[in-house]
Amino acid sequence: MVISEILEIIDLNITQLQQARALLTGGVNSAPKKAVGRPKKAVGRPKKAVTVSRKAAAAVPAAKPAKTRTLSPEGRKRIADAAKKRWAAKKSADTR
């Protein structure tokens, strides 16, 4: 037997098995399995850029930068003193 003949026989068997399966399941194909992982990026037309008139742009107030919170020197000293007190208590508890 030549390889091409073997492949033809295998293909014939596959089609017969697929037909038998379709008859047994009522001709309804089972639902395809869901893909695992992150969904693919949608491919399509790029979105148009929205143009804003100068008057409308001027009417919208500019976003203020977020304020950074600062700690006063007194607050920093209170935190340092509390930390020193905690470490002193822990150290004295360890030596007992």
Which carries the bigger pLDDT value, residue 83 or residue 46? 83
List the domain range (segments joined by +) for residue 14: 1-26
Q: In the numeric block, which tokens belong to residue 11?
A: 């293909």
Does 91 reside within a domain?
no
Instruction: Specify the higher pLDDT residue, 74 or 43.
Output: 74
Average pLDDT of the segment spanning 20-25: 88
Residue 96, pLDDT > 80, answer no
Helix or strand holding residue 53 (H, E): none
Say if 63 falls within a structural domain: no
Task: Please check whether residue 18 lies inside any domain of the structure.
Answer: yes
Q: How far is CA 90 from the centre of its chain?
A: 44
The more confident residue out of 15 and 39 is 15
Residue 72 lies in a domain: no
Instruction: State what percent of residues in the chain have pLDDT above 90.
Output: 41
Number of domains in the chain: 1
Terminal C-alpha separation, the chain: 91
Mean pLDDT computed over 22-49: 73
Distance CA 5, CA 11 (A): 10
**Higher per-residue pLDDT: 33 or 30:** 33
Confidence of residue 73 (pLDDT cuts 50, 70, 90): very high
Assigned domain for 95 exists = no
